[in-house]
Structure 1
Amino acid sequence: MGFARSVHFQDVSWLRGLGGLFIKPARLQIAALCYRPGKNEPEILLVSTRDTGRWILPKGWPEKDKPAFETASIEAYEEAGVVGETDPKAIGSFRSFKGLSNGLKIRTKVVVFKISFEKQLKKFPEMGQRKCAWLPLSEAAELVDENTLRRFLHRHRSSLV
């Protein structure tokens, strides 16, 4: 009984150091920042998500045995029918969350590649599943509801000229 009285269960400060052990690493997604010249500033392409209709960049999981920049091209084509020249070097990344069909959300790191717009096809794999919108960069940044994507767009404005 003497042992039980001497242990202080209120002192759990040692647990704080273990918190990092239970955080899963972010999953990687690849996004396409499709852009074209606009009247006063570059226009960028946003697509809606299939489930909630939120505005995002075309993005997806990395394609097996393909460089990341090719995945960006594939996503732009599949989600919006956009074809263009993809820069093989990423312009940056941002943190996001991916909603899964079972309702769970997982943390993701989204690596972004620029695609200089050449054309938009009338038929593409996800036609009718998403809305597509070409908007001036400043409008697009305000339309997205993810703060990390909004900051990313503002931060990389000068690289789209």
Structure 2
Amino acid sequence: MSKEKRFVDKAKNGKPIRQVAAVPFRRDSRGNVEVMLITSKTTKRFIVPKGWPMKGKSGRKAAITEALEEAGVVGEALREPPGVYAYWKRLSSHFVRVAVKVYLLSVIDVRSDWKESSQRQRAWLSPADAAALIDEPQLASLLRSMTSQPMDQLTEHEQPPFV
């Protein structure tokens, strides 16, 4: 049974469909926060790296894997996700509502060649510019709320830099 079919069956049974996402971030030369967006494979609209939960991996580790596969970035994800957003996912025969748990990923390395490099483009943007390009209002709001606090110095016990 395909992953898509399993998730469609869950949705038909009234169970929530969940995904995990990474918001890769770094500091530019002036110390300002930048976030990375990638294009989707089919519509080419800007999104964040995201995917289905992975058996045997925590949501945080799955988000790290998605960021590497989809965006070609390696980093450390903060333990506590700053939020969740919802969107309508297009499957082969219909749409389903998906709740996405978002993890901030402090980028350590950006690969020039990665698994989906031929299918996606990526861009480093200010949180405000990234929010303007995102279709999902809850994710855009989360991006806009990022501040210039030193995110890369947060420990797992501190709150993410969101207002």
TM-score bracket, shorter-length normalisation: 0.7 to 0.9
Match status 1:53 vs 2:53:
no
* Structure 2 unaligned regions, length at least 5: 1-11, 150-159
Residue 33 (structure 1) aligned to one of 16, 23, 26:
23
Instruction: Please report the RMSD computed on the Cα atoms of aligned residues, expressed in angstroms.
Output: 2.0
* Structure 1 unaligned regions, length at least 5: 1-21
Matches within 5 A, 1:122-161: 122-157=112-147, 159-160=160-161
Give the corresponding residue for 2:94.
104
Give the corresponding residue for 1:95.
86
Matched residue type, 1:75: E
Hey, what's the Cα distance between the residues in 2 that align with 1:138 and 1:103? 34
Which structure carries more helix by proportion?
1
Hey, what's the Cα distance between the residues in 1 that align with 2:119 and 2:128? 25
Deviation at 1:24, TM superposition (A): 3.2
TM-score, reference length from structure 1: 0.78
Hey, what's the Cα distance between the residues in 2 that align with 1:160 and 1:131? 27
Residue 66 (structure 2) aligned to one of 63, 67, 75:
75
TM-score, reference length from structure 2: 0.77
Q: Secondary structure at the match of 1:148?
A: helix
User: Sequence identity, in percent?
Assistant: 34
Hey, what's the Cα distance between the residues in 2 that align with 1:103 and 1:148? 25
Q: Secondary structure at the match of 1:113?
A: strand
Deviation at 1:25, TM superposition (A): 3.9
Deviation at 1:80, TM superposition (A): 1.0
Contact 2:16/2:98 (CA < 8 Å) preserved in 1? Answer: yes
Contact 1:91/1:113 (CA < 8 Å) preserved in 2? Answer: yes
